[in-house]
Amino acid sequence: MARLEIHKFQAQSYAAVRDEYEKYKDERHTRLHLDHVPVIDEDGQSIDYAEEIAECLELGYESVMVDGSRLGFEENIAATKRIVEIARGYGRPVEGELGAVIGHEAGPMPPYEELFAGGKGFTDAGEAGEFVRRTGLDWLSVAIGNFHGAVAPGKRDDKKMAARLNIEHLRTLREAAKVPLVLHGGSGIQKEYLREAFRAGIAKCGDEYPAALRARRGRICREGKRGSVRRHAGRNPKRTGCRRHRREALRLIYTLRRSLSRLCLL
């Protein structure tokens, strides 16, 4: 659950997401994680990130992420350390980010091959160990060629460009950071790169909301609006359709989990 799901999509509120999760959770497979609360958001606006994260910790979110990657190094350390200190009071782990995992910004994305070849925005191995040590975080999100899917209206349903990963750089980061590493923007990355990334230090992989599932959601909710009034007398047809969508989303999560498990074993 990322902050932009509230502000750019239709997730209503952190409490609403928590309540919906409680209906369908399966603790054998799922945890409620607050993802990507930025200090500076994709539109360049300052966010009251500490207040939002504290709200979610009070609501029972089981882990949180603060994203200070748009800040300078020292400012990122200070923001991340602040959240670590807050989360420790709840006994919850914290993820931070170092480097630039781009893609959420509204403007055009720079040429990918140019970025990858030059390592522009990649997590600095010389800074990674210091960042972990001074913040006390539990997981570190890294940039090694991965990027987010677009969230701007008119772009969010576009097919995502295929990405590659610099596995050698990932190994260097693992040795420097000495904490579990996180890969965001997992959709669109070739299977071979993902497999090597898990072997080289990635412990958690974020996969964007797939375009196929977005299309399915739209179809289900449209069906709810049109023809299901008679089939679901006394119910809110739109809500009924969207509940079906959420159940399908959870089934997709289980499928992804099994797929990732197989990748790690291959």
Cβ-based neighbour number of residue 2 at 10 Å: 24
Rounded Cα distance between 83 and 257, Å, is 28
Q: Are residues 47 and 38 in contact, defined by beta-carbon separation less than 8 angstroms?
A: yes
DSSP 8-state class, residue 163: B
**Which residue has tokens 């609403």?**
16
Strands 63-67 and 94-98: parallel
List of E strands, the chain: 33-38, 63-67, 94-98, 139-142, 181-183, 202-205
Q: Is 41 a catalytic residue?
A: no
Q: Which of 35, 67, 124, 207 is catalytic?
A: 35
List residues with catalytic annotation. Answer: 35
